[in-house]
Amino acid sequence: MNELQRNKIIDTVDILNIDEATKLSQGRKCVIITGVTGQDGSYMVEYLLKNTNYLIFGGVRRLSVYNHENLSGIHSDRFKLINFDLTDSHTISRIIEKLQPNYFINFAAKSFVGSSWDFPQQTWHTNTTSVIDILESIRLYNPSCRFYQAGSSEEFGDVQYTPQDSNHPLRPRSPYGASKAAARQVVKVWRDSYDLFAVQGWLFNHESERRGEEFVTRKITKNVARIKKSLENGEDFDALELGNMEAKRDWSHSEDFVEAVWLMLNQENPKDYVLASGETHTVKEFVEKSFKFAGVETRWHQDEENPMLTKLMEAKSGKILVRINPKFYRPAEVELLLGDPTEAEKELNWHKKVDFTELVRRMVINDIEKINAT
């Protein structure tokens, strides 16, 4: 570990306890953000530092493994990490009572859909029970606090019509989707029952250069960068393995969504919105564009009798770049998700800035630069 890495880790693990954070927050407006080490949380911090004068507390757990890479470029006296566990109701109530936040933004979740079948109870406890704990603490100790809950397009699941808007019924097809759908109902019940300013955004798929490597988009771009480097060096490589490449998703850039979240929190009356690009693309399209931006020419080998044998090859050499692996198929697949952002565009005056092609380009270039730097 070099000196720069040591300094970065020392900076980012300076985590405050509740008493330290309470002293710092006295007489100051503040925001609490959970999930701050993820893409949404880190972009939210940057947005608030640029557009407000609030003190920002990012909730994190103390871990022996360094996971603050997305925060390494943030240097401000107005941003502090605080020791926080979303599954501990006592911690939640103490933080809200002591810090008296003006806003509470909940991005934290067990958010990897595939693993929610393996850990359904943990997914529910983290994604649903915690929302009850947060809202109850706000009701009891700080009812003027404005609360945002990050919802998901996975709540719509087995869709009845396309595009999906805020009136679409909740029909989840995964434990993750069910946990988010239940959390949305919790938000509505506490808002209606206790007159709290509590809102949810249905966030359709959103990615970025900061996306976790377990998600399919980042898995694609990271492996495209790896394969490109191996091809350039004349080295053997393992093909990228994916599941359902015909699944259609509505992809946006995470940075666009955090602006919409802040607009939702500052509307006159609380209302939930769908956040989406309004267009859909297949996983297959994402793969094709990724290799194109990496400068790798490709061709598909289609097997009409057995689609599972379909594979993507390098155009010149015929080397297999991508193949299908059935183990990556979900027990219950969501084939199509396409959001209708019309309400958010008209009522919040929000509009996306990064389109699908630019999103893929940024992610691919980012991973190519990272692998070349190693």
Concatenated DSSP letters for 277-344? -S--EEHHHHHHHHHHHTT--EEEE--SS-GGG-EEEETTT--EEEEE-GGGS-SS---B--B--HHH
The answer to whether the CB of 171 falls within 8 A of the CB of 158 is: yes
Report pLDDT for 220.
97
- In this prediction, residue 10 carries a pLDDT of 36
Cα torsion 371, 115, 167, 186 to 10°: value is -120
Q: How far apart are the first and last CA of the chain?
A: 13
Structure tokens at 190: 């506490």
Q: Report pTM.
A: 0.90
Nearest C-alpha neighbor of 341 from the set 210, 248, 270, 251: 251
pLDDT at residue 210, rounded to an integer: 95
Residues in the chain: 374
Low-confidence ranges of the chain (pLDDT < 70): 1-13, 63-67, 111-112, 305, 307-308, 330-334
Specify the DSSP class assigned to residue 171.
Answer: -
3-state SS assignment for residue 164: strand
pLDDT (0 to 100) of residue 167: 95
Rounded-to-integer distance, Cα 313 and Cα 317, Å: 8
Q: Are 157 and 174 in contact (CB under 8 A)?
A: yes
CB 18 within 8 A of CB 52: no
Residues 6+ apart with CB under 8 A from 254: 39, 40, 43, 206, 207, 208, 210, 211
Question: Do residues 303 and 309 make contact, with C-beta atoms less than 8 angstroms apart?
Answer: yes
